[in-house]
Chain A
Amino acid sequence: MPSKKKDLAKGRTAFWNDPEKRSMLYQIIMLVILIICGAYIISNTLHNLDSRGIKTGFDFLWSEAGFGINQSLIEYDESHSYGRTFFVGLLNTILVASLGILLATILGFTIGIARLSNNWLIAKISAVYIETFRNIPLLLQIFFWYFAVLRPLPRPKQSIELFDVFFLNNRGLAMPAPNILEGFGWVLLVFALSLIVVIGVKRWAKNRQDTTGKGFPIISVSLAIMLGLPALTYLFVGSPIDWEVPTLRGFNYRGGITVIPELLALLLALSVYTAAFIAEIVRSGILSINKGQTEASFALGLSRPKMLKLVIIPQAMRVIIPPLTSQFLNLVKNSSLATAIGYPDLVSVFAGTTLNQTGQAIEVIAMTMAVYLTLSLLISLFMNWYNKRIALVER
Chain B
Amino acid sequence: AADSTVKSVQKRGYVQCGVTTGLPGFSNPDDKGKWQGVDVDVCRAVAAAALGDANKVKYTPLTAKERFTALQSGEIDLLSRVTTWTITRDASLGLNFTGVTYYDGQGFMVSKELGVKSAKELDGASVCIQSGTTTELNLADYFRQNGMKFEPVVFDTADQTAKGFEAGRCDVLTSDQSQLYALRIKLSKPDNAVVLPEVISKEPLGPVVRQGDDQWFNLVKWTLFAMVNAEELGLTSSNIEKEKKSKNPEVQRFINGEGSKALGVPGDWAYQIVKQVGNYGEIFESNVGASSPLKIERGLNALWTKGGIQYAPPMR
A and B physically associate:
yes
Residues of B within 8 A of A (CB): 1-2, 64-65, 67-69, 72-74, 88-89, 92-94, 114, 122-126, 131-133, 136-137, 139-141, 144, 149-156, 160, 163-164, 167-169, 171, 210-212
CA distance A68 to B114 in the complex (A): 23
Pair A68/B168 contact, Cβ less than 8 Å = no
Q: Count chain A CB atoms within 10 A of each CB in B122, B126, B133 and give the residue with the most.
A: B126
Q: Count chain B CB atoms within 10 A of each CB in A47, A55, A251, A348 and give the residue with the most.
A: A251
CA distance A79 to B169 in the complex (A): 25
> Which of these binds chain B: A10-18, A178-186, A189-197, A355-363?
A355-363
Pair B140/A252 contact, Cβ less than 8 Å = no
Task: State whether A344 and B94 are in contact (beta carbons under 8 Å apart), knowing that A170-B169, A251-B124, A352-B132 are contacts in the complex.
Answer: no
Within 8 A of B (CB), among A185-207: none
Kindly provide the distance from the CB of A155 to the nearest chain B CB, expressed in whole angstroms. 6
Q: What are 26 of the A-B contact pairs (CB < 8 Å)?
A: A48-B73, A53-B210, A54-B72, A54-B93, A54-B94, A55-B92, A68-B136, A68-B151, A68-B152, A69-B154, A70-B151, A70-B154, A78-B141, A251-B114, A251-B126, A251-B171, A252-B124, A262-B153, A342-B131, A353-B65, A355-B132, A356-B132, A357-B132, A357-B136, A359-B69, A361-B69
Over the window 231-243 of chain A, the binary record of Cβ atoms lying under 8 Å from chain B Cβ atoms (1 yes, 0 no) is 0000000000000
Task: State whether A53 and B73 are in contact (beta carbons under 8 Å apart), knowing that A251-B126, A352-B132 are contacts in the complex.
Answer: no
Query: Cβ of A68: which chain B residues have Cβ within 8 Å of it?
Result: 136, 139-140, 150-152
Residue of A nearest to B151 (CB): A70
Return the contact of A51 from the options B140, B167, B212 (Cβ within 8 A). Answer: B212
CA distance A353 to B137 in the complex (A): 10
Pair B68/A353 contact, Cβ less than 8 Å = no
Task: State whether A356 and B64 are in contact (beta carbons under 8 Å apart), knowing that A70-B154, A342-B160 are contacts in the complex.
Answer: yes
Query: Cβ of A249: which chain B residues have Cβ within 8 Å of it?
Result: 124
Q: Tell me the dominant secondary structure on chain B's binding face.
A: mixed
Query: Cβ of A69: which chain B residues have Cβ within 8 Å of it?
Result: 152, 154
Pair A171/B151 contact, Cβ less than 8 Å = yes
Residue of A nearest to B210 (CB): A52
Kindly state the interface size class of chain A when it binds its partner. Answer: 35 or more
Within 8 A of B (CB), among A328-386: 339-342, 344, 348, 352-353, 355-357, 359, 361
Pair B152/A70 contact, Cβ less than 8 Å = yes
Task: State whether A342 and B155 are in contact (beta carbons under 8 Å apart), knowing that A67-B137, A151-B167 are contacts in the complex.
Answer: yes
Query: Cβ of B125: which chain A residues have Cβ within 8 Å of it?
Result: 250-252
Q: Is A285 an interface residue (CB 8 A)?
A: no
Task: State whether A171 and B126 are in contact (beta carbons under 8 Å apart), knowing that A155-B168, A359-B68 are contacts in the complex.
Answer: yes
Q: Is A66 an interface residue (CB 8 A)?
A: yes
Kindly provide the distance from the CB of B202 to the nearest chain A CB, expressed in whole angstroms. 16
Pair A356/B160 contact, Cβ less than 8 Å = no
Query: Cβ of A51: which chain B residues have Cβ within 8 Å of it?
Result: 1-2, 212
Pair A356/B152 contact, Cβ less than 8 Å = no
Return the contact of A252 from the options B92, B126, B212 (Cβ within 8 A). Answer: B126
Task: State whether A70 and B211 are in contact (beta carbons under 8 Å apart), knowing that A150-B168, A261-B169, A355-B65 are contacts in the complex.
Answer: no
CA distance A355 to B263 in the complex (A): 33
Q: Is A147 an interface residue (CB 8 A)?
A: yes
CA distance A390 to B100 in the complex (A): 67
CA distance A90 to B99 in the complex (A): 38
